[in-house]
Amino acid sequence: MRISVMSQMQRSFSIDLPSLIPLQLPSRRHTHLWYVIPDEVKSTSLLKRYSQLLSQTEKDGVDQMRGDELKKNALLARTLVRTTVARYQTNKEVDPRSLMFKKNVYGKPEVDWQNCKNCNHQPLHFNISHTDSLIACGVTVHVPVGIDVEDKERKIKHDVLAFAKRFYSADEVNFLATIPDPEAQRKEFIKLWTLKEAYVKALGKGFSAAPFNTFTIQSIPGTEEGYSLCKTSEVTADPLEETKKCNGEWKFAPLELADSHYAAVCIEDDQANEGAPMRVIVRKTIPFVEDQLISERIFL
Amino acid sequence: MASLSATSLSFKAPSIQSTRISQVLRKASTFQSISFGRFQSSKSLRLQISCAAKPETVQKVSDIVKEQLALSADTALTAESKFSALGADSLDTVEIVMALEEKFNISVEEADAQNITTIQEAADLIEDLVQKKPAA
């Protein structure tokens, strides 16, 4: 009985698909960022094997998507999450299929360690983001993480400033308004969107917990890529004077991926790591086929 | 000849009469529905408001969604169509909300915007907000 089960597993797994190269968990303040480019995954047999990794709920979710391209991307997104999390499992018996997921009370997806047989409970956090042409998954340890990716060329249907006035904070609108070139303005708008979205996702409490116009993400003077979060609050007697509270509790890393996408990573700062820089290690992957180290960046 | 014309005449008369009769009947029936069915008609109106949005609203929402997500004109959208299933990400959803605000001249709270996941939900929220607006 045991032997036949083993051989069945072998048939469907270690022979057809090479095992995932195991990895050490990221250290504190490190984020591992994995991405897959859907256009590079063409093999229908590979996609079929990916679909075998998914739970029934996930398969139903993929089937709900309208159109082949959306279905494929949904499949790749779940595959990326499962295979990425599985890489860090020290117990080799765990295959991506056996991972379980749940949502926190606000709807943010998390690993459900308790219900996973053979899984080692790890303080691993993940977050996923996708566009038509790129799917990314960020992994951290001990601290929540949020990521967002957007196509650099994404066109905004509305006037950028009008859109910003409606949804962004006053300071962010002012910043965007100082950019004379409309194309440059659009790019900064998108970058800011990824940073804001990454923060809300790291917070993990849904949009209504942090409406976009209640916080400002601004660059730290004197740095090229440093960003800080300031909350706008109107508690002063003078309603025109907004007091801003800029805290260092959240760290941001703006990046570009594959020359085609803006990305942002946001992590909650771990008090134990006061002063230590934030590090992001970027890898491109086609799960079970190819992993490629792209970059290792430090953000102060 | 004479008999034919007589026949044709006799045919005509009933048709005119029947029209008049049916008109009277129609009037009677509406009368009935208003007085006896006053309950009914207002009740059903009330149900309509809190239940499903008008088909025109659903259509307008579908058009905006199609435009925002650059769907082909022949994409079949139903009221139950989910934005996420159509490939909308968070930026798309926010753009859709803004387009709906402009189209219907309403203002959507962030918390409400988050709860919109289908075309039907968007249409229902729109009609709710339009209703609540003070009369112009």
Residue of chain B whose Cα is closest to the Cα of A193: B91
CB-nearest partner of A66 from B85, B89, B98: B85
- Rounded to a whole number of angstroms, the distance from the CA of A65 to the nearest CA of chain B is 4
Residues of chain A with C-beta less than 8 angstroms from the C-beta of B67: 157
Interchain contact, A157 vs B94, CB within 8 Å = no
A130 and B CB contact within 8 Å: yes
Q: What is the mean pLDDT of chain A?
A: 87
How many secondary structure helices (H) and strands (E) does chain B include? Answer: 6, 0
pLDDT band per the 50, 70, 90 thresholds, residue A273: low
Interchain contact, A207 vs B86, CB within 8 Å = no
A/B interface, count of CB pairs below 8 Å: 46
Domains observed in chain B: 53-130 (1.10.1200.10)
Report phi then psi at A238, rounded to 5: -85, 110
At B111 the pLDDT is: 76
A117 and B CB contact within 8 Å: no
At A272 the pLDDT is: 66
pLDDT above 70 for B8: no
Contact (Cβ atoms closer than 8 angstroms) between residue A173 and residue A185:
no
Residues of chain B with C-beta less than 8 angstroms from the C-beta of A212: 110
Contact (Cβ atoms closer than 8 angstroms) between residue A252 and residue A217:
yes
Interchain contact, B87 vs A131, CB within 8 Å = no
- Rounded to a whole number of angstroms, the distance from the CA of A73 to the nearest CA of chain B is 10
Spatial separation of the C-alpha atoms in residues A150 and A191, rounded to whole Å: 8
Q: In terms of Cα–Cα distance, which of A34, A32, A4 is closest to A290?
A: A34
Give the residue extent of every domain in chain A. Answer: 30-299
Give residue ranges of B with CB < 8 Å to any A CB.
67-68, 75, 81-82, 85-87, 89-91, 94-95, 98-99, 101, 110-111, 113-114
At B106 the pLDDT is: 93
At A25 the pLDDT is: 83
pLDDT above 90 for A139: yes
For residue A3, which amino acid is it? Answer: I
CB-nearest partner of B110 from A67, A154, A207: A207
- Over residues B36-65, the pLDDT tens digits come to 333 334 444 444 445 678 889 999 999 999
Interchain contact, B85 vs A70, CB within 8 Å = yes
Interval B104-125 mean pLDDT: 88
Residue of chain A whose Cα is closest to the Cα of B87: A70
Interchain contact, B98 vs A163, CB within 8 Å = yes
- Rounded to a whole number of angstroms, the distance from the CA of A175 to the nearest CA of chain B is 20
pLDDT above 60 for A147: yes
CA B8 to chain centre: 45
Spatial separation of the C-alpha atoms in residues A4 and A181, rounded to whole Å: 66
CB-nearest partner of A70 from B87, B90, B99: B87
B74, B82, B101, B110: which to substitute to probe chain A, counting the most A Cβ within 10 Å?
A: B110
Q: In chain B, what percentage of residues exceed pLDDT 70?
A: 61
Best mean pLDDT range from A28-32, A207-211, B112-116: A28-32
How many Cβ atoms from other residues are within 10 Å of residue B105's Cβ? 11
Interchain contact, B110 vs A67, CB within 8 Å = no
For A244, the 3-state DSSP assignment is strand
Contact (Cβ atoms closer than 8 angstroms) between residue A126 and residue A104:
no
For A167, the 3-state DSSP assignment is helix
Interval A206-211 mean pLDDT: 83
Which of the pair, A106 or B30, is modelled with greater confidence?
A106
Report phi then psi at A42, rounded to 5: -110, -25
Q: Which residues contact A61 (CB under 8 A, 6 or more apart)?
A: A74, A78
pTM over 0.95: no
Q: In terms of Cα–Cα distance, which of A129, A131, A135, A128 is closest to A41?
A: A135
Own/partner contacts of B102-108, CB < 8 Å, gap of 24 or more, are B103/B60, B103/B64, B104/B60, B104/B129, B104/B130, B105/B133, B106/B130, B106/B133
At B18 the pLDDT is: 43
Active-site residues of B, by number, are: 89
Residues of chain A with C-beta less than 8 angstroms from the C-beta of B111: 207-208
Q: Is the ipTM of this complex over 0.90?
A: no
Contact (Cβ atoms closer than 8 angstroms) between residue A210 and residue A203:
yes
Spatial separation of the C-alpha atoms in residues A299 and A281, rounded to whole Å: 11
pLDDT above 60 for A142: yes
- Rounded to a whole number of angstroms, the distance from the CA of A212 to the nearest CA of chain B is 9
In words, the CATH class of domain A30-299 is alpha beta
Q: In terms of Cα–Cα distance, which of A243, A248, A213 is closest to A229?
A: A248
Q: In terms of Cα–Cα distance, which of A86, A172, A69, A26 is closest to B70?
A: A69
